[in-house]
Amino acid sequence: MYDKNNIFHKILRSEIPAKIIYEDDTVLSFHDINPVSKIHALVITKGLYSDFPDFIARASAEEVKHFFAAVAKVAEILGVSESGYRILSNAGPDSGQEVPHFHLHILGGERLRR
């Protein structure tokens, strides 16, 4: 069950600011406020999904494809397509997911530790 009381929903409602990298009808990307690598971006859906399992269960095939294409586009914008990057998504208690709104992290801009 999606809980609207989360920080990314507030960003979507423009109630709090974010350093926007990319936006279209269904996707928003912005810089992580607490980066763990030189490049650390977040890509979120505008659709209300709480995590990856929720997204993959309820989103249309077109929406899923569009989302991942947008992730690749953000990597291009950030200039890490050639140098490489890591994408990850936390889901469920063991992952330590902090914000219950589906998002992918894009990490790069330097050699990442395993």
Binding ligand AMP (rule: CB under 6 A), the pick from 32, 73, 81, 87 is 32
Binding ligand AMP (rule: CB under 6 A), the pick from 5, 14, 34, 60 is 34
| Smallest separation, CB 39 to ligand AMP (Å) | 13
Which is the catalytic residue, given 9, 40, 101, 103? 103
90 binds ligand AMP (CB under 6 A): yes
**At CB < 8 A and 24+ separation, what contacts does 1-8 make?**
1/50, 2/48, 2/49, 2/50, 2/54, 2/100, 2/101, 3/50, 3/100, 4/48, 6/99, 6/100, 6/101, 7/99, 7/101, 8/42, 8/44, 8/99, 8/101, 8/103
> Is 101 an annotated catalytic residue?
no
Positions marked active-site: 103
